[in-house]
C-alpha cells in the first residue's frame, strides 16, 4: 500500500498563527492570567499538560492489509480530580489540537465546578472510510495502548467528534477484560443499558438550549421567537436545535458537513431529523433553500450556534456575522482574532467552555451513578444539569462584569482561578 493511499493519515493543512488550536487557547489563557495576576509559577503549572502520550495502533483491515494508525491521549491537569474528556476520530486530529482540547476540558470542568481535571484523546483516521469492525479494532487497540492512563480515579474518556455510545462500550469492555472485572465508571457516554446515564446523549444540546435562554435574558431578549442558525447537525447541533425549537425559537438555518439550509419562516426540526435519519445528510430537504457554509454563518439571525468544529469564525468572516448572540456548541469555533472583532461589534459570545459544558456535566452524573450503582430518572438528571449550568452562567457573568472583560475571558478566569486555588492548597509534591 502506497503512502498516498493510506487511510491511516491524511495530509493536514498546516495551521496559521490564528488557527493553531493550542495557540488559540494560550492567547486567551495569557489574557486571563494577566487579569488574575496569576503567580508566575502557577502560570507555568496551569499551562503545562501533566502527560502527553502518542501511541501506534496496528490494525488488520477488512481487506487483509495491516495499517498503523496514530493515537493521542493528553492529560492536562488533575488538581481538581481525575482527567476527563472525550476521544475524537478524524483525519484532521493533531497533537496541537488534542493538547488544546485537553486544556479546554480542565477549564470547562472547573467552570461547571465538577470534580474533574481535563484530558482529551484522538485517533487520526477517517471513520467514513472504515467499517464497524475496523473501528472496533482501532478502538480496542487504542484503549489497550493507553490503558495505564485510564481508570475511574485517573482519567475517564467520553465521546467527542465521530465517536459515540458504541465506541464507549468497546472501551469499557476492553478495559474491563484487562483488569478482569467490569468497570463501568472508566468511560462515560455509554449506552443507557450498559450503565450509561439517562439524558447523556441529549445533554450537550440541552445545555446549548439552557445557555441560549440565559444569554437571551442577558440581552433582554427571549429564546421564544428568536431566529436561530445552527452550524453542524451532529449530536450537539441537531439536539440543540430541536430543543431550542421546542422552547419557541425559530430555526432559520442549519448545516451539516455537506450543505446548509435556510428558511426565513423556520425549518421544521422534527421533519428535518426524520429526513436526516433516512438520507444520512440533510441535502435535498424540501422545506428550505440551499446555502453555502460561509453564507450560513452570515445569515441574519438573533442567535448563532457554531456546533461543527474549530476555526469557523475567523478574522475573515467575523465582520460579516449578523447574530447578536453566539453560543459555542463546538470546542474552539471562534479564533482569538475573531473574538476582538465580535467584541467591538457588541456580539455576546458565550464561550465553548461554558456553552457546551452540558455534556461533561451529565458525564459527571454518569460517573457518580456508576460508582453508586444507583441510576437516576431522566427528570432528575435534567434538573441537576439545569442547576449547574445556570449557576455556571451567572458565575462567569459575575467574573466578567467585575473584571470588565467579555464572557470568554471571564470563563477562563473563573476556571483558571479555581484550578490555581486547588493547586496552591494541595501544594507541590516533592
| Interface contacts to ligand GLU, rule CB under 6 A | 84-86, 158, 160, 188-189, 331, 356, 359-360, 363
With respect to ligand GLU, which residue has the nearer C-beta, 331 or 392?
331
Question: Considering 35, 99, 120, 250, which one is annotated as catalytic?
Answer: 120
With respect to ligand GLU, which residue has the nearer C-beta, 118 or 410?
118
Residues with Cβ within 8 Å of 287's Cβ and at least 6 positions away in sequence, in order, are 263, 267, 268, 271, 272
Distance CA 305, CA 307 (A): 6
Distance CA 45, CA 87 (A): 24
The burial of 404, by beta-carbon neighbours within 10 Å (0-12 exposed, 13-18 middle, 19 or more buried), is given as exposed
Distance CA 78, CA 58 (A): 30
For the bound state, the minimum distance from the C-beta of residue 117 to ligand GLU, rounded and expressed in Å, comes to 11
Q: Which residue is nearest to ligand GLU (CB)?
A: 86
Within 10 angstroms of residue 40's Cβ, the number of other Cβ atoms is: 7
DSSP-derived secondary structure letter, 87: E
For this structure, is 271 an active site residue?
Answer: no
For the bound state, the minimum distance from the C-beta of residue 57 to ligand GLU, rounded and expressed in Å, comes to 20
Beta strand ranges found along 29-132 (DSSP E):
51-60, 66-77, 83-90, 118-124
With respect to ligand GLU, which residue has the nearer C-beta, 121 or 260?
121
Q: What angle do CA 356, 335, 300 make, to 5 degrees?
A: 75
For the bound state, the minimum distance from the C-beta of residue 98 to ligand GLU, rounded and expressed in Å, comes to 12
For the bound state, the minimum distance from the C-beta of residue 350 to ligand GLU, rounded and expressed in Å, comes to 15
R_g over Cα of the chain: 21
For the bound state, the minimum distance from the C-beta of residue 374 to ligand GLU, rounded and expressed in Å, comes to 20
Contact 195, 369 (CB under 8 A): yes
With respect to ligand GLU, which residue has the nearer C-beta, 108 or 141?
108
For the bound state, the minimum distance from the C-beta of residue 43 to ligand GLU, rounded and expressed in Å, comes to 24
Distance CA 346, CA 230 (A): 20
Which grid coordinates belong to 197?
446515564
Distance CA 108, CA 85 (A): 10
- Residues that are catalytic: 120
Amino acid at each position: 500500500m502506497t503512502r498516498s493511499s493510506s487511510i491511516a493519515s491524511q495530509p493536514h493543512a498546516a495551521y496559521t498563527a490564528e488557527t493553531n488550536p493550542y495557540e488559540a487557547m494560550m492567547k486567551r489563557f495569557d489574557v486571563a492570567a494577566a487579569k488574575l495576576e496569576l503567580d508566575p509559577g502557577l502560570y507555568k503549572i496551569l499551562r503545562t499538560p501533566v502527560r502527553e502520550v502518542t501511541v501506534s495502533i496496528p490494525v488488520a483491515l477488512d481487506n487483509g492489509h495491516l495499517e498503523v494508525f496514530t493515537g493521542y491521549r493528553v492529560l492536562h491537569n488533575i488538581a481538581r480530580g481525575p482527567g476527563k474528556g472525550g476521544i475524537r476520530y478524524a483525519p484532521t486530529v493533531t497533537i496541537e489540537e488534542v493538547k488544546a482540547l485537553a486544556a479546554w476540558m480542565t477549564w470547562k470542568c472547573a467552570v461547571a465546578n465538577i470534580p474533574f481535571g481535563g484530558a482529551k484523546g484522538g485517533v487520526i483516521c477517517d471513520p467514513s472510510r472504515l467499517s464497524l469492525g475496523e473501528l472496533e479494532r482501532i478502538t480496542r487497540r487504542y484503549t489497550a495502548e493507553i490503558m495505564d492512563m485510564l481508570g475511574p480515579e485517573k482519567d475517564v474518556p467520553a465521546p467527542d467528534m465521530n465517536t459515540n455510545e458504541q465506541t464507549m462500550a468497546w472501551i469499557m469492555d476492553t478495559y474491563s477484560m484487562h483488569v478482569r472485572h467490569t468497570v463501568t465508571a472508566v468511560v462515560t457516554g455509554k449506552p443507557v443499558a450498559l450503565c450509561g446515564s439517562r439524558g447523556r446523549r441529549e445533554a450537550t444540546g440541552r445545555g446549548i438550549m439552557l445557555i441560549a435562554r440565559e444569554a437571551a435574558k442577558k440581552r433582554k431578549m427571549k429564546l421564544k421567537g428568536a431566529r436561530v442558525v445552527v452550524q453542524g447537525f451532529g449530536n450537539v447541533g441537531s439536539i440543540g436545535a430541536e430543543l431550542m425549537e421546542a422552547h419557541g425559537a425559530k430555526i432559520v438555518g442549519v448545516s451539516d458537513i455537506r450543505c446548509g439550509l435556510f428558511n426565513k419562516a423556520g425549518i421544521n426540526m422534527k421533519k428535518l431529523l426524520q429526513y436526516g435519519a433516512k438520507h444520512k445528510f440533510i441535502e435535498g430537504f424540501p422545506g428550505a433553500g440551499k446555502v453555502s457554509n460561509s453564507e450560513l454563518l452570515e445569515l441574519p439571525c438573533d442567535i448563532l450556534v457554531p456546533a461543527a468544529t474549530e476555526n469557523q469564525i475567523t478574522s475573515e468572516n467575523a465582520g460579516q456575522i449578523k447574530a447578536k448572540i453566539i453560543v459555542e456548541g463546538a470546542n474552539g469555533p471562534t479564533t482569538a482574532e475573531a473574538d476582538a472583532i465580535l467584541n467591538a461589534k457588541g456580539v455576546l459570545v458565550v464561550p465553548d467552555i461554558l456553552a457546551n459544558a452540558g455534556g461533561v456535566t451529565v458525564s459527571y452524573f454518569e460517573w457518580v451513578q456508576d460508582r453508586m450503582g444507583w441510576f437516576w430518572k431522566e427528570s432528575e438528571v435534567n434538573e441537576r444539569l439545569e442547576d449547574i449550568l445556570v449557576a455556571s452562567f451567572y458565575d462567569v457573568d459575575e467574573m466578567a462584569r467585575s473584571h470588565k472583560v467579555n464572557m470568554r475571558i471571564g470563563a477562563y478566569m473563573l476556571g483558571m482561578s479555581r484550578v490555581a486555588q486547588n493547586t496552591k492548597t494541595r501544594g507541590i509534591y516533592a
